[in-house]
């Protein structure tokens, strides 16, 4: 009758109402603000590129962690503790529950990152810096997509497990593998491909694409394309002369894929399971 918007509203209220929720939201927003506060002290004419350069190392860990922690309990915690029993005795479909939770928590994540980035950008801009609006929008959009991808992965995990402990283990497994380990593995891939005579000296483009399909590398590729184009890396982004599928645009598309696929996959499993 009322559907997922009611669930989403309750999710937002729940996140903003709980102490841990407020604490997490506050900490993440604070990092963005502190970045905007510090960058002008290190650069005489700061821009979003400096802001990105200063914060990227931290955000590559902080944003995925925030997204995963916001998502991984969403469904499984209520399933284990019985609130889901109550919700599903109301006229909600399971899609209403998953969508409502995703939208509600997605709004919390978007709000946190938006407020943090805007506040940080104001501090960069005033009094000595310059913030171009299109760069700001790109930065905000890329960071939001990055966070939403890990939120979706977290919620996806939350829908396929029936025990909170398994969800926790999987979540930290994903965090370690995708955020910590995977971006460091390009050297090993190169050695393996060289051993197979598929590469010499550097990774072929297709291998860069495969390795770069990880959300945190995609995020860097998007930033290197739209926010910090002057610092071309040899790793994730080969510059505008590289093949089209290694440009920022397709990377944005892939980030959307990381949002949609875990959600849909998790939901399809959740839809047919016995609770």
Query: Can you tell me which residue has the tokens 């495969």?
Result: 210
Return all residues near 23 (Cβ < 8 A) that are at least 6 apart: none
**Which residue, 5, 15, 11, 262, is CA-closest to 159?**
262
Residue 216 near residue 178 (C-beta atoms within 8 A): yes
- Shortest separation between residue 163's beta carbon and another protein, angstroms: 15
With b for 16 or more beta-carbon neighbours within 10 A and e for fewer, the 218-242 pattern comes to bbbbbbbbbbbeeeeeeebbbeeee
Query: Which residue's CB is nearer to another protein, number 163 or number 240?
Result: 163
Give the residue with the Cβ less far from another protein, 93 or 191: 93
Q: What is the phi/psi pair of residue 200, to 5°?
A: -140, 130
Q: At its nearest, how many Å lie between another protein and the CB of residue 159?
A: 15
- HSE, side-chain direction, 13 A CA sphere, residue 260: 6
Count Cβ atoms below 10 Å from residue 184 Cβ, excluding itself.
8
- For residue 85, the minimal CB distance to another protein (Å) is 4
- As measured in angstroms, the least distance from the Cβ of 111 to another protein is 19
Closer residue to another protein, CB minimum distance, 188 or 275: 275
∠ CA 267-71-80 to the nearest 5 degrees? 70
- The least CB distance from residue 108 to another protein, in Å, is 15
Cα separation, 104 vs 15, in Å, equals 9
Q: Which residues pair with 202 in a beta bridge?
A: 200
CB 164 to another protein: min, Å: 13
Nearer to another protein among residue 17 and residue 204 (C-beta): 17
Residue number, 97 or 117, with CB nearest to another protein: 97
- Please identify, using beta-carbon distances, which residue of 97 and 148 lies nearer to another protein: 97
Residue placing its CB nearer to another protein in the complex, 21 or 257: 21
Q: How far is the CB of 261 from another protein (least distance, A)?
A: 25
DSSP 90: S
The residues of the shown chain that bind another protein, judged by CB under 8 A, are 1-2, 6, 9-10, 14, 17-18, 78, 81-83, 85-93, 96, 272, 274-275
Largest CA distance in the chain: 61
């Amino acid at each position: 009758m009322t559907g997922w918007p009611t669930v989403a509203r309750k999710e937002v209220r729940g996140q903003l109402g709980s102490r841990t929720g407020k604490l997490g939201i506050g900490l993440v927003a604070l990092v963005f603000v502190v970045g905007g506060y510090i960058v002008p002290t290190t650069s005489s004419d700061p821009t979003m590129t400096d802001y990105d350069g200063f914060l990227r190392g931290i955000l590559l860990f902080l944003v995925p962690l925030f997204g995963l922690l916001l998502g991984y309990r969403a469904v499984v915690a209520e399933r284990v503790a019985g609130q889901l029993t109550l919700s599903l005795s109301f006229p909600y479909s399971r899609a209403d529950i998953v969508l409502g939770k995703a939208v509600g928590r997605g709004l919390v994540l978007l709000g946190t990152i938006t407020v943090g980035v805007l506040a940080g950008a104001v501090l960069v801009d005033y009094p000595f810096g310059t913030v171009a609006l299109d760069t700001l929008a790109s930065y905000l959009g890329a960071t939001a997509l990055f966070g939403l991808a890990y939120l979706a992965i977290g919620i996806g995990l939350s829908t396929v497990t029936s025990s909170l402990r398994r969800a926790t283990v999987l979540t930290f497994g994903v965090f370690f593998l995708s955020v910590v380990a995977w971006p460091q593995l390009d050297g090993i891939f190169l050695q393996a491909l060289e051993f197979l005579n598929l590469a010499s000296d550097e990774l072929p483009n297709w291998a860069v694409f495969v390795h770069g399909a990880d959300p945190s590398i995609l995020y860097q590729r998007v930033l290197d394309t739209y926010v910090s184009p002057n610092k071309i890396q040899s790793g994730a982004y080969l510059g505008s002369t590289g093949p089209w599928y290694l440009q920022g645009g397709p990377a944005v598309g892939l980030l959307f894929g990381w949002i949609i696929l875990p959600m849909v996959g998790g939901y399809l499993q959740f839809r047919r399971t016995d609770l």
